[in-house]
A and B are shown apart, each in its own frame.
Chain A
Amino acid sequence: MKPLSQQAQAIRIKWPGFTVNISGNTLKAIGNLQPTARSLVYKVHVLYELGKKPDITLLAPKIERNFKGEMPEHLYSEERLCLYRPIYGEFKPCDLISESIIPWTSLWLYHYEVWHILGDWLGGGEHPGT
């Protein structure tokens, strides 16, 4: 398992626009991601309790329904982004957030915008029970 100090240091080095704090067992990182040069800039929030699943949410702008009135299909409760399928081990506590969670967040945001435009999610993925 990667200690929080190592996770924090990797984010600070790799993502200079992010601010990172550790308090007790929890790491908090906030930064801006713009998936394409023509996209909005999203302020994202990463909350990681050591050894648990990281929670990624959008601080601004917030998630919105698309023109069909639907919510994006890859969310957990409280509008947390579902970036990977835990049973596949795509992110494990020994992996760096800077190398996985943050790039996936930008990719998710790209597909979120395209989903707003088209009404379809083209980023693939799975749902519980499949």
Chain B
Amino acid sequence: MIYLNNRGAQIDDILDRMAESLQLGDSRYDRMKQHYEAIKSWIEKDEIFFKPFAYELYPHGSVRILTTVKPIGSDEFDLDIALHIKTNHTAHTPQRIYQELKRRLSEHETYKGMMELKKRCIRLNYSGDFHMDILPGIQEFDWDDNRLCVPDHELGRWVSSNPRGYAEWFIDKANSVKVSLLEKALRAENIPADNFRYKKPLQRGVQLIKRYRDIYFQDDDTYKTSSIILTTIAGLYYNGEESIFDTVENIVNQIRQNVNYLPSRLKILNPVNQQEDFTDKWDTEPKYYDAFKSFVIHLYGEWQELKKQHGVLTESRILKGLFGDDLFVNAQREQTTLLESYRKTQDIGISRNSGNIVKAGAVASTVVKSNTFFGEKLL
């Protein structure tokens, strides 16, 4: 519980709760792990093609970097899994690897009915739970455990990919802050901060920006900005801010400045492969770039409003608009329910200087004695 005399921690507590409820839950994560372990052993047992090779199978993308966001109106997460095969890629054609994976999965009674072929990966649909996108790849170099050659199904050639290197890059960025504002606030109140062990302001910020993207493009997602672009920009612009609020503010500010003042369009390169421009589509289809710019400018405007001291009512209207009513309302309800549990044990006080609700026993505060609000319900 964050006490309510710290402006920054108060809003970060709400932002953190909203992001937490968007996150892939632990039980589903465990289920996903069991499923992909089963897939791995099915592939390893393949006598026709896969058996002689060594493998790793690991999550990449948002699952790996802890920035998953539950899609709006659906309860199915997209989970990215890499099938990392350790052999010489020049000995195989891209088509072969993809076809062999497809063949092997279709030999399985369950998997064959769940398969959906995508450009670079094969998707297994676990209805009502998640889509698992399996990206087959062969390690590109002996001396680099991360880089993969992955088949581009449409182009019919290998493309270089580095999902694990990307995740390392992002997590390093996220960890560039040692202690977040929320952790500090909890420590100051001697409350265990277990919840924040793995979730840093950058990860929370990315979740919220992605969520707002989903809301912004809800009616027309033709030119929706992709998660990889948003995540990469966030990682590039993050400056080790301690709060979620400042993290979003800084990222959005920098994007806005760059799109306004750069002579040409903003270019977002893959940080672990500078040859790859995640935004190459913005040249061929500039409407994607226009949509991205409008999206950012809108978020910038709303965030500036949040900075003004309008009071929690106006603030709640802005947050509902940005992230959806339910998400905000649930976060506020959680915060208040927790406060009420502290009230029952007489653990809250009121600051005598401001009237703010604080921890009982805080300097210059008066403890809130037990009371029962009363009175008529007026119509």
Contacts and interface: CB of A to CB of B under 8 A. Distances in A.
A1 interface: no
B263 to A, nearest CB: 40
B230 interface: no
Contact of B332 (A14, A17, A118): A118
A37 B6 contact: yes
A123 B374 CA distance: 11
A35 B26 CA distance: 35
A6 to B, nearest CB: 16
B353 A17 contact: yes
Q: Per DSSP, are chain A's interface residues mostly helix, strand or loop, or mixed? A: loop
Contacts of B377: 73, 127
Contact of B374 (A38, A71, A125): A125
Most buried by A among B336, B337, B352, B374: B374
Interface string B329-350: 1001100110110010000111
Interface in B339-371: 339-340, 343, 348-350, 352-357, 366-371
How many of chain A's residues touch chain B, expressed as a range? 35 or more
Interface residues of B, number: 43
B108 to A, nearest CB: 48
A88 B333 contact: no
A41 B309 CA distance: 11
B23 interface: no
A106 B373 CA distance: 12
A35 to B, nearest CB: 6
Nearest to B373: A125
Contacts of B350: 33, 102-103, 106-107
B355 A117 contact: no
Contacts of B315: 38
Contacts, number: 153
A19 interface: no
A73 B375 contact: yes
Nearest to B354: A34
Contacts of B239: none
A36 B5 contact: yes
B7 A85 contact: no
B368 A103 contact: yes
A59 interface: no
Contact of A113 (B11, B312, B378): B312
Contacts of A99: 366, 369
Contacts of B340: 122-124
Contacts of A33: 350, 354-355
Sort A-B residue pairs by CB-CB distance and give the 5 closest, nearest first.
Answer: A82-B375, A125-B373, A33-B355, A36-B4, A40-B311
21 contacts: A15-B352, A16-B353, A36-B10, A38-B309, A71-B379, A74-B373, A74-B374, A74-B375, A76-B375, A76-B376, A82-B373, A85-B372, A91-B371, A98-B366, A100-B371, A106-B356, A106-B357, A117-B313, A124-B340, A124-B372, A125-B375
Interface of B: 4-7, 10-11, 309, 311-313, 315-316, 329, 332-333, 336-337, 339-340, 343, 348-350, 352-357, 366-379
Given A84-B373, A85-B372, 15 more contacts: A37-B10, A38-B311, A73-B378, A82-B374, A83-B374, A84-B374, A90-B369, A90-B372, A103-B350, A106-B356, A113-B311, A113-B312, A122-B336, A122-B340, A126-B372
Interface of A: 14-17, 32-42, 70-71, 73-76, 81-86, 88, 90-91, 98-100, 102-104, 106-111, 113-114, 116-118, 120-128
